Amino acid sequence: MKRAVPKQKILNKEAFSNSNVLLIGTYSSENKGDAAMELSVANRVRKELGATVQISSPFPNIDKAFYSDFEVVFSQRRKLIRASIQLFLAFIYSLLPKATQSKFSFLILSDEGKAILNADLVIDLSGDMLTEDYGPHVAYSHFIPILMSIFLRKKVFLCAQSIGPFGLTTFLAKYIFSKVSRITVRESISYEYMKRFGLSESKLSKTADVAFLLEPAKLERTKEILKEEGLSLPKDRIILGISVSDIIQKKYDARHDVKGKFEDEFASLLDQLIETHKVFVVFVSHVTGPSETKDDRNLSKRIFSKMKNKKSGFVLSGNHRPEEIKRIISQFSLFVGARMHANIGALSVGIPIIAISYSHKTPGIMREFELGDWVHPIETLDMDKLNESILTMYKKRKTIASQISKSNERIKSVAEENIVKIKELLS
Average pLDDT over residues 390-399: 97
Instruction: Kindly report the pTM of this predicted structure.
Output: 0.95
User: pLDDT digit string (tens) for 152-201?
Assistant: 999 999 999 999 999 999 999 999 999 999 999 999 999 999 999 999 99
Q: Is 401 among the domain residues?
A: no
Q: How many CB atoms lie within 10 A of CB 266?
A: 26
Is there a single domain that holds both residue 323 and residue 184?
no
Alpha-carbon gap, residue 413 to 410, rounded angstroms: 5
Q: Does residue 402 belong to any structural domain of this protein?
A: no
4, 178, 356 from 353: Cα distances, Å? 31, 37, 10
The yes-or-no verdict on residue 2 having pLDDT over 60 is no
129 CB-near residues (< 8 Å, 6+ apart): 25, 27, 138, 139, 142
**CB-CB contact of 350 with 405 (8 Å):** yes
Contacts of residue 422, defined as CB under 8 A and 6 or more positions apart, other chains included, come to 21, 41, 45, 49, 121, 123, 157, 159
Q: What mean pLDDT is reported for the chain?
A: 95
Quick check: 69 and 50 in contact, CB under 8 A?
no
- 259 lies in the same domain as 163: no
Query: Mean pLDDT, to the nearest integer, of 57-64?
Result: 98
Q: Are residues 54 and 81 in the same domain?
A: yes
Residue 3 pLDDT > 70: no
* Residue 140 CB neighbours (<10 A): 18
CA 14 to chain centre: 31
Domain assignment present for residue 101? The answer is yes
pLDDT in the model for residue 6? 46
Q: Range of 122's domain? A: 13-213+411-426
The DSSP string of 2-62 is PPPPPPPPP--GGGGTT-EEEEE----TTBHHHHHHHHHHHHHIIIII--EEEEEES-HHH
Q: State the first-to-last Cα distance of the chain, in angstroms, to the nearest integer.
A: 30
d(CA 70, CA 51): 11
Q: Where are the alpha helices (H) located in 119-235, listed in sequence order?
A: 136-151, 170-179, 188-194, 219-229
Instruction: Tell me the per-residue pLDDT of 62-81, one tens digit each, with 9 for 90 and over.
Output: 999 999 999 999 999 999 99
What does the DSSP 8-state code read for residue 417?
Answer: H
Give me the residues paired with residue 156 across strands: 122
Averaged pLDDT for residues 325-333? 98
Residue 34 in contact with residue 160, Cβ under 8 Å? no
134 lies in the same domain as 201 = yes
Between CA 209 and CA 161 the distance in angstroms is 7
CB neighbours of 34 closer than 8 A, spacing ≥ 6?
A: 26, 27, 28, 125, 127
Where would I find the H helices in 110-169?
Answer: 111-118, 136-151
pLDDT at residue 258, as a whole number: 96
Cα–Cα dist 189/163, whole Å = 9
pLDDT of residue 1: 43
Q: What own/partner pairs with CB < 8 Å and gap ≥ 24 does 387-395 have?
A: 387/269, 387/272, 387/273, 389/354, 390/240, 390/273, 390/334, 390/336, 390/354, 391/273, 391/277, 393/334, 393/352, 393/354, 394/238, 394/277, 394/333, 394/334, 394/352
Pair 296, 245: CB distance under 8 Å: yes
Assess contact for 185 and 160: CB atoms under 8 A.
yes
Does some domain include residue 406? no
The conformation of residue 237, written as its DSSP 8-state character, comes to S
Residue 23 backbone dihedrals phi, psi, to 5 degrees: -100, 125
- List CB contacts of 240: < 8 A, sequence separation 6 or more: 270, 273, 279, 280, 281, 282, 332, 333, 334, 335, 336, 390
The answer to whether residue 1 is domain-embedded is no
Domain membership of residue 271 (yes or no) is yes
Supply φ then ψ for residue 121, to 5 degrees.
-150, 135
Dihedral sign, CA of 323, 397, 241, 312? Answer: negative
What share of the chain has pLDDT > 90, as a percent? Answer: 96
Tens of pLDDT, residue by residue over 296-313, are: 999 999 999 999 999 999
My answer on whether 280 and 323 are in the same domain is yes
For 222-256, the pLDDT digits (tens) are 999 999 999 999 999 999 999 999 999 999 999 99
Pairing mode, strands 375-377 and 182-185: unpaired
In a domain, 4, yes or no: no
Q: What are phi and psi of 313, to 5 degrees?
A: -150, 165
Residue 365, pLDDT above cutoff 70 = yes
Same domain, 90 and 44: yes
Q: CB neighbours of 116 closer than 8 A, spacing ≥ 6?
A: 22, 108, 122, 145, 148, 149, 152, 154
Q: What is the pLDDT of residues 110-120, one digit of tens each?
A: 999 999 999 99
pLDDT for residue 14: 67
CATH at 263? 3.40.50.2000
Do 235 and 208 lie in one domain? The reply is no
Q: How many domains are contained in the chain?
A: 2
Report if residue 159 sits inside a domain.
yes
Question: How high is the pLDDT of residue 11?
Answer: 55
Residue 60 pLDDT exceeds 90: yes
Mapped onto helix, strand or coil, the DSSP state of residue 287 is: strand
Residue 42 has pLDDT above 60, yes or no: yes
71 & 25 share domain: yes
Could you tell me if 233 and 206 lie in one domain? Answer: no
DSSP code of residue 242: E
Same domain as 195, residue 247: no
299 and 361 housed in the same domain? yes
Residue-level pLDDT at 279: 98
My answer on whether 348 and 420 are in the same domain is no
Mean pLDDT of 102-125: 96
